[in-house]
A and B are shown apart, each in its own frame.
Chain A
Amino acid sequence: MAELFSGAEILLKSLVDEGVDTVFGYPGGSIINVYDELYKYGGKLNHILVRHEQGAIHAAQGYARATGKPGVVIVTSGPGATNVITGVADAMVDSTPVIVITGQVSNAALGTDAFQETDVVGMTGPIDKWTYQIRRPEDVAPAVAKAFHIASTGRPGPVVLDFTKDAQRGRAEYHFEKCDFIRSYVPVPEPDEAQIDEAVRMINAAERPFVVYGQGIVLSHAEEQLKAFLKKGGIPAASTMLGLSALPSDFPYYVGMAGMHGNIASNLMTQRCDLLIAIGMRFSDRVTGIVSEYAPQARKIHIDIDETEIGKIVPVDLGVLGDAAQVLERITERMNFSFHDEWAVTARKYDQVEQAKVVAPEVQRTDGPLTMGEVISKVAEASGHDAIVITDVGQNQLMAARYSRFRSSRSFISSGGLGTMGFGLPAAIGAKTACPDRQVCLFVGDGGFQMTIQELGTILQEHTAVKVILLNNNWLGNVRQWQELFFDRHYSQTRMLNPDYSLIARAYGIRYRMVDERAGLDAAVQEMLDSDEAFILDAHVEEQGMVYPMIPVGRRVDEIMLNRNEWYEDGK
């Protein structure tokens, strides 16, 4: 008779056979059998003990975004499960492959309001890619195999496996069989040849073609295909925030980031182009401004792997369903070599305005307090534009997106669609765990830092050498900026009285340095980067710093505020 294993052990065997090396988790009563097996598992699986389940899932997201491999989370039932919900929603909207295993009470106790029982299937179904409750030990291996297939193929996303006590404790045979087929699920639609031909015709006919690409380029490993496409077509391109680092910042056809706080060139060129080619992006309202006025002169092509995205926000002339790498390869092969130099070079004109009106006032000050832009530029430069940049949410994020420069893909990790404050610190831990040889720099505000500050304990225990750049201004800066601009300076609940971060760092045994002067910035940044341990650089920046340029909500993307008193006027 074949050997029998507990469901808990089958789970761990399946994870190892799927190639998992690291899991992020937190034990509890309903998952204790899995932790008991883990105890015996020794070196095969590296378990990172976080300080709160939200930290586990954001760390898994950071791990997944840095590597492309699914991040794995193990938590208990009830509050363990509800504490990961924010991260599940975040991973869904940002297309991040994560596998969440939640403990669950025994089958007989389901639906009885048992201790730490909650309806995980009901709660996660609407916000994840797939949910499955495992009630029998023989279902563990197939469920895990399906979970990996679903999470990592097509448009990636989070999968939740709700693992009851009976399934953990019961015994079954184990055979590892990778899943690559589900009858009801077609992850990568085959591109339609007629659509490809139509796209080629539209691109060949365009005089001012323009590309806006998103994270789909990274997820489809289409970086090289995008470069070849842009070069052959002579087409300028802008990135969404989550697409950042897919192209190197100095790539000749790259004109910057699109959207609310994006570069002037990318937004203006969106409005002027006669053909907009959107690739692996989802027309977020932060990118489009007022939708009815978005790219008004352009015919539009949308290339995406997810059919629900095509025509969801912006009506398009042509949708091309498929994997970005495959579609771009086929289009590039068939299209004409072209030059649009006169058009492409208009980016320079806009860049000059941005440099003079926005960048210089931010990074070339000689007196007054440090600015966020200065600190970020300094870190970018001193790290050779080669660090993995993690951000939290708010001004720290927008400024990090604007002032960082990238050399390689998968180097910008941020909570985009959901905008989850508290994402940064645990995501940085996950990214550093995945890429121990790369410099991992987190930009975080004093607000978001305190939302998951407990994860400093994880850093203490795991010796995760994350570099934390705390852009500390004693405000919830982004909300304060809106209050200043649009709410008559009613600073409602945005002023923060902060703790002494040097004492917090000391309590966790983490190296710390405060910088509040321009003269000390270079040395402080260098000390942080040179450290082979975790480091908190507490940068006391201008209290009422602003992120410009800004397209206020409800405006067209060519209505751009350069500062409090000045709007961009084209031609001047």
Chain B
Amino acid sequence: MESEKLYIISVYSENQVGLLSSISNIFTRRNINIESLTVFPSEFPGVHHFTFRVFTTERNATQVVKFIEKKVDVLRAFSFEWQHGGASEHEIISDYLQERKNQLK
């Protein structure tokens, strides 16, 4: 049995009505209780940032991130163990937005 740890699931998305509910359903379906949740506008214009704190296994955390990213309105999602805060997130999102902008031309 894999041990449960506290994970931060960090999600960057478009600002879309109903998205929070379908993301939180991804946790519910796997019987993962959300310990805390914050939603706020990110430093990128038009992009919202959700952070979930959940106790779960590494495998679940990885899977949940993939399923969240599968949502059409989600840009990227990340998971990391609590206290290993992800300093690189800002860079990844910034690169992602630049790359998509270039693809659009």
Chain A: residues with CB nearer than 8 A to chain B?
A: 121-122, 125-126, 129-131, 133, 150, 181-185, 306-308, 312
Q: Is B21 within 8 A of A125, CB to CB?
A: yes
Q: Is the CB of B72 within 8 A of A184?
A: yes
- CB of B87 closer than 8 Å to a CB of A: no
User: Given the complex, which residues of A lie within 8 Å of B100, measured CB to CB?
Assistant: 183
On chain B, the residues within 8 Å of A312 by CB distance are 63
* A interface footprint on B8-33 (CB within 8 Å = 1, 0 otherwise): 00000110011101100110010000
B66 touches A308 (CB 8 A): yes
Within the assembled complex, what's the spacing in Å between the Cα atoms of A363 and B22?
49
Helix, strand, loop or mixed for chain A's interface? mixed
Residues of A contacting B63 with CB < 8 Å? 308, 312
Nearest to B59 among chain A residues (CB) is A311
Chain B interfacial residues counted at CB < 8 A:
23
Which of the residues A122, A125, A131, A184 comes within 8 Å of B75, measured between beta carbons?
A184
CA gap between A308 and B13 in the complex, in Å = 18
Are B70 and A131 within 8 A (Cβ)?
Answer: no
Q: Which of B14, B22, B73, B103 contacts A126 (CB 8 A)?
A: B22
What separation, in Å, do the CA atoms of A308 and B25 have in the docked complex? 16
Answer yes or no: B82 CB below 8 A from chain A CBs.
Answer: no
Contact indicator A308/B18 (Cβ below 8 Å): no
The docked-state distance in angstroms from the alpha carbon of A130 to that of B18 is 10
B13 and A125 contacting across the interface, CB-CB below 8 Å: no
User: In this assembly, does B81 line the interface, its C-beta being within 8 Å of a C-beta of chain A?
Assistant: no
State whether A184 touches B25 (Cβ < 8 A). Answer: no
B22 / chain A contacts, CB cutoff of 8 Å: 125-126, 131
| Interface residue? B61 (CB, 8 A) | no
Q: Which of A121, A125, A126, A307 contacts B69 (CB 8 A)?
A: A307
| C-alpha spacing A126/B24, complex, angstroms | 9
Nearest CB of A to B70, in Å: 5
B35-87 with Cβ < 8 A to chain A: 63, 66-67, 69-70, 72-75
Q: Closest Cβ of chain B: how far from A282's Cβ, in Å?
A: 13
Query: Beyond A122-B18, A133-B17, A133-B18, is A181–B104 a contact (Cβ under 8 Å)?
Result: yes
In the complex, which residues of chain B have a beta carbon less than 8 angstroms from the beta carbon of A184?
A: 13-14, 72-75
Bound together, the chains give a CA A548 to CA B100 distance in angstroms of 51
* Known contacts A121-B18, A133-B18, A183-B14; A126/B70 CB under 8 A: no
Q: How far is the CA of A218 from the CA of B98 in the complex (A)?
A: 34
